Amino acid sequence: MKVAIIQFGGTNCDLDVLNVLTDVMGVDAETVWYKQEKLTGFDGVIIPGGFSYGDYLRAGAIAARTPIMDSVKKLAAEGKPNLGICNGFQILTEAKLLEGALTTNKYPKFRCQWTKIRVETVNTPFTCRFRKGELLKMPIAHMEGNFFTDEETLSKLDQKDQVVFRYVDENGKVTDSSNPNGSLENIAGIVSTLRNILGLMPHPERASELILGSDGGLRVFESMADYITENF
């Protein structure tokens, strides 16, 4: 098993992800600079958080149009898992690998805080180690994390079980006060139609060791590793 962690100019969570995969889990992983167009030999891809290209135009817009994303799309078409975290989620929507868009927070400021999220489905390569309805503590750090889409797409995401995480309160309830950015239906993460591409705004790599305040995020990566082991 080998996982690629894509780096763009402005990426800043790549080494955090690398630490979780290699030091915490013992998985073979390496960072891949965006100018390396081929992803030969990799079984999965993670696009970490940061501010690729300074979020010029729109967050993730420039990174989504770099040649390496063609290779990311090719791996995704082969069924291999692709995880986009924060800026990675933004890049995946800009690349049309996930539906919807991430827009400016309802309160238009950078938000950096702990959140509670609820696992809405375990039917993905990234959540098979969870229980449906389980509550996780994960931090966010973004200014453009407000998930938006049209009513038809939103309905389809719900009907096809593509909403993976929602922001909730301490009791697991979806409330306005537990929504840190104004996302429709408190959506914190969604999966593609084929279910092998996940985008989420909270940072599981920053919640993968108890010393950081939570280790709930570790199972996102462990689930992904299980899926790769079983299928590739």
30: three-class secondary structure by DSSP: strand
Q: If 0-12 CB within 10 Å is exposed, 13-18 middle and 19+ buried, where does residue 109 land? A: exposed
Alpha-helical regions (H) of the chain: 14-18, 68-77, 87-94, 151-159, 218-231
Tell me what pLDDT residue 37 has. 83
- The catalytic site residues sit at 86, 203, 205
Q: Is domain 3-231 classified as CATH 3.40.50.150?
A: no
User: What are the 10-residue block averages of pLDDT along the chain, 232 residues in total?
Assistant: 97 98 97 93 97 89 95 96 98 98 94 98 98 98 97 97 98 97 98 98 97 96 97 93
DSSP labels, 166-228:
EEE-TTS---STT-SS--GGGEEEEE-TTS-EEEESS-GGGGSBGGGTB-TTHHHHHHHHHHH
Tokens of 55: 């979020």
Give the integer Cα–Cα distance in Å for 137 and 148.
23
CB 209 within 8 A of CB 215: yes
Task: Please give the Cα distance from 33 to 12 (Å, whole number).
Answer: 13
Closest CA to 14 of 1, 27, 33, 40: 33
- Write out the two tokens for 223: 């689930």
Q: In this predicted structure, what is the pLDDT of residue 55?
A: 84
Non-local (6+) Cβ contacts of 57 within 8 A are none
The helix/strand/coil state of 54 is helix
**Domain map (residue ranges) of the chain:** 3-231
CA pseudo-torsion sign 95, 98, 101, 104? negative
Does the predicted TM-score (pTM) go above 0.85? yes
Is residue 172 a contact partner of residue 118, using CB atoms and an 8 Å limit? yes
Contact 49, 86 (CB under 8 A): yes
